[in-house]
Structure 1
């Protein structure tokens, strides 16, 4: 996997994939900065009139319903249709799933539209699989381990790679009769004190999916990149403001070898 990290990282940097972000209004700046630092090109094209056409020229699409409205839902549906018609991978970040009924029903309604990846916290993934009620707003009240059955169920249902972020990240894939699940030990608790780290991770996943041919490796590499940047930033900065700047710098500076050496993959033997 070390060589895959390096090659996936360099693929993002050399290809500079165009990533369409239909995301919440709180994190647009952070998400754009993360993509630029990683080497991708962000575009916040989210209106219903343009989102579908733009998704056909973008190389990856993020769907994040963190601050939804009727117009944003329409734009997301248009973008998903455009992405699917062009074979563009799209990522679902189910922000707040289970906490509020209307957004949860929207997310459930698009699960059949073939997301390439689903990325959320443990409570969101559990709620999306209809196995739980969700967390406290956008915060998880469940541990990552508790989300393993739900993640596998979602992967089987949708064909997507499913990632659960937390104290250690869980990434699962179901392909044919084969199932794979790993824990990625990476990152730093300081990431939880900076706005947009989770939401921008969804965009980074889309960038890696656009640049790298193996979806599982792409999702894993995106999480490793984010986690490694958090570790680098936390090594010198111990308060959220300075950490946020150092984290963006680290996303820009890290190469594939550094990313690979900063995290540890734990295979889950029986899933």
Structure 2
């Protein structure tokens, strides 16, 4: 075995070990979600105390008391609308900035990308939303969607610009010569070419919005608008000693994203790689 193969084997072994270290907390959460209160409070990584009856009791209690069905629906609505808004606006903005090579567009590009380094200041944002009545009722949902879109927009814009740079401008010129309008050219010709990076951007949007806690806590903390992630707040507060319920809630809230990521991870890697190479 030559040095190259030995080095490759060593890196693979290290990768497996690091993967196990990362998975240990998830495994502990899952195992303790199927135990009794006494066993779960020990916070041990063991199979002791696990039973099918306890599994049904814990998860049934969480679904009922946290009203997970309505919470999942709220999260799905906010996530879908927020992701749709970001993808449509960021892709069109990136296309215009890349195609129009002017000083003004360069300044716009730098201004947007600068948003990657700036944190979200929730207090002034909440004050601003309160002035336009977007902190209560359905207005709070709209406000949350806009804040999610604004916070994710710079990164999505950034990966779109890297990908669009690899698409020849001759395609645009040919479409215009054939009489296509700007909107028809973009949505009928350019946007379908962005499929790899769009899938990557979509996954990032879904994971960011679904898993967010801060914005939901400020704007969507009422009983009717509670999102899935906020249900963990119930078991960290009123039921702070019921670790088995908290763990069960974490498993249920995380499951949609984990399943989606497992099915889409190859597209995420491919989209980021294509954007990096073409950019």
Q: Normalising by the residue count of structure 1, what TM-score does the alignment of the two structures yield?
A: 0.23
Q: Normalising by the residue count of structure 2, what TM-score does the alignment of the two structures yield?
A: 0.23
Greater helix percent: which structure? Answer: 2
Greater strand percent: which structure? Answer: 1
Greater RCO (Cα-Cα under 8 Å, separation 6 or more): 2
Structure with greater Cα Rg = 2
